[in-house]
Amino acid sequence: MKKLTHTDDSGKATMVDVSFKKNQLRTAGAEGFITLSSKTIKLIKENNIKKGDVLTIAEIAGIQGGKKNSELIPLCHPLQISKIDVKAELTENGVKITSEAKCIGQTGIEMEALTSVSIALLTIYDMCKAVDKGMTIGEIKLIKKTKTDLY
């Protein structure tokens, strides 16, 4: 098997060459959390955040962010994404974001899933920053990654 490399002959960074790899169905899931004050949670529940419906806008932003991943992370391959699903769930102390991404390709889609979660969380932060100065974003992690032969 050909060795994957991240540098060219001069030692400069390059994208990993995946041209020899076969297309596979690839999926990835990620999650993250933003801690919010009880006042902010109440405002979100009652849809009284001035910027709008926090959970729906965060989900849409997460989808957009995942689609833009290769423009944000320099050495990521652009992928033909077939699915990104982002869910925002209000809990007693914040919002949990989960993301699932899927493609058929020669490289994994975990960065798109992680970016989706990150952008959704940042969107919540942006929408709530006027009312909550103590928000914390964290616990962003990959929770699954699969690849399946197509035939």
Encoding tokens for residue 103?
Answer: 């493609």
Domain total in the chain: 1
Residues 6+ apart with CB under 8 A from 10: none
13: pLDDT strictly greater than 90:
no
4: pLDDT strictly greater than 80:
no
5: pLDDT strictly greater than 60:
no
**DSSP letter assigned to residue 106:** S
> Structure pTM?
0.91
Check if 126 is active-site: yes
72: pLDDT strictly greater than 80:
yes
In-domain check, residue 40: yes
In-domain check, residue 131: yes
- What CATH number does the domain containing 85 carry? 3.30.70.640
In-domain check, residue 133: yes
Which has the minimum average pLDDT: 4-13, 126-135, 139-148?
4-13
Report the pLDDT averaged over residues 27-37.
98
Question: Residue 7: which pLDDT band, with cuts at 50, 70 and 90?
Answer: low
- The CA distance from 37 to 134, in Å, is 7
Catalytic residue (choose from 9, 85, 126, 132): 126
Q: Are 141 and 31 in contact (CB under 8 A)?
A: yes
Residues 6+ apart with CB under 8 A from 26: 102, 103, 104, 105, 107, 108, 109, 145, 146, 147, 148
pLDDT tens-place string over residues 78-109: 999 999 999 999 999 999 999 999 999 999 99
In-domain check, residue 6: no
Q: Among residues of the chain, what percentage have pLDDT more than 90?
A: 87
In-domain check, residue 8: no
CA atoms 19, 22, 24, 27: torsion sign: negative
Range of the domain at 60: 24-149
Mean per-residue pLDDT of the chain: 93
17: pLDDT strictly greater than 70:
yes
In-domain check, residue 55: yes
In-domain check, residue 52: yes
- Give the pLDDT of residue 54: 98
Encoding tokens for residue 60?
Answer: 């849409």
In-domain check, residue 93: yes
pLDDT tens-place string over residues 119-128: 999 999 999 9
Question: Residue 12: which pLDDT band, with cuts at 50, 70 and 90?
Answer: confident
